[in-house]
Amino acid sequence: MIKKAKLFIILIIVIAAASISVVHSRSTQSIDRDTESASASGRHKRLSPVVFVPGDGGNQLDAQLNKTSSVHVFCQKHTDWFNIWLNLELLVPLVISCWIDNVKLQYDNITRTTHNTPGVKIRIPGWGDPEVVEWIDPTKAKSGGYFKDIADQLVQLGYERKKSIFGAPYDFRKAPNENAEWFINLKQLVEDAYDLNDQTPITFITHSMGSPMTLVFLQRQTQQWKSKYVARVVSVAGAWAGSVKAVKVYAMGDDLDSFALSGKVMREQQISTPSTAFLLPSPLFWKNSEVLVETPSRQYTMSQLEDFFNDIDFRDGWEMRKDNIKYSLNFAPPDVELHCIYGSNVATVEKLVYKKDNLVGEIPMLIKGDGDGTVNSRSLKACQYWQNFQRPNITLIDVPNADHMSILGDPQVLKYIRTIFS
């Protein structure tokens, strides 16, 4: 058995705001008061069924191989269905090259869609089952925990898995334009959960990319449908307006905060996914003149991202950006009650600086600003923009020093979520 390496999953990015007036923001200092009032007023309420919507990398994936060739002699070519994400044994040196070839996508700029490596099938297990989003690693290794702490909290309040707690996993490698079936299935899951729980409106609990994915879903529903079936959205570390970290991934990859992984090695798989393009900074919250990348002789502003992709020799990244920019540009409000919970005061990349003009193969220096370590502050707080455009209440909860992943188990966050459902 290959020794497992500790891994922290980073779920990346998309849609946000700065230079907008803060309207219903509260700090964690008010959570104690919220707990007392919510407990007193909510004891006799019916439990609002919960649907978890994960972010990038936030649910299990299975694979089946029937390949005619492989990248190395030790890589399997024929298998039955097996867990490929999260499977720590597949992310160790040498073996990881097999994993990358099996998980990466290939882009077709004629059909504007992606497909798996020939001979690879990927499926999303456990539709509706919260376990596949509570534990990204089916062995339940500690590093593979995801929504588990929040789910355990709900169970203490009387919730039951697969009766009043559900999961909505999807192919997180892909962006909204290639997840049409998921949006259809999600609507049916919401209606089924509503009926199963005495016609009680549901609550979405979302994380990272799951927040803008849920926004796209809600934008497609009528107000009548939302008023009937949806009580609220609880967004945790929502990447509403993307993140500069997505630019960093294209430049140098990401090591997922693991000492055992190399961002340079992981990059091949990471940049092949349209979800990375979906999570690039939104032009609604980054000015065209803002510099994202800098070299000794030039600057790449927000409006010059196409040049950046050309100069890193990855034109497909720009094509995938064009396929999904319409979702970033549509920032219509969800028109449901919204709780926006996010971390702050954690160094987060906001600009890349190269020592050389040739970008290919070079590792830039990262200039950092405020955020949660993955998503920039303006994106996390972009939800405040809707305060002037929807009637349902919007509450912002700032959790200082909580990073993008640890916030899911932060005691203050769990306590606040408990007040919502008490």
Residues carrying an active site annotation: 208, 372, 404
Could you tell me the two tokens for 300? Answer: 């790449």
Residue 62 and residue 85: Cα distance in Å, rounded? 7
Give the chain's end-to-end CA distance (angstroms, integer).
44
Strand-pair category, 394-400 with 337-344: parallel
- Residues 369 and 350: beta-carbon distance below 8 Å: yes
289 vs 285, 301, 414, CA distance in Å? Answer: 12, 5, 39
Q: Taking Cα atoms as reference points, which of 174, 341, 238, 196 lies closest to residue 16?
A: 238
- Residues 390 and 333: beta-carbon distance below 8 Å: yes
- Residues 245 and 349: beta-carbon distance below 8 Å: yes
Residue 255 and residue 271: Cα distance in Å, rounded? 13
- For residue 411, what are the contacts with CB-CB under 8 A and spacing of at least 6? none
Could you tell me the two tokens for 322? Answer: 């064009």
Per DSSP, what are the bridge partners of residue 351?
Answer: 367
DSSP 63: E
- Residues 47 and 200: beta-carbon distance below 8 Å: yes
In the chain, how long is the greatest CA-to-CA distance?
Answer: 65
Residue 82 and residue 99: Cα distance in Å, rounded? 12
Helices (H) and strands (E) in the chain, counts: 14, 16
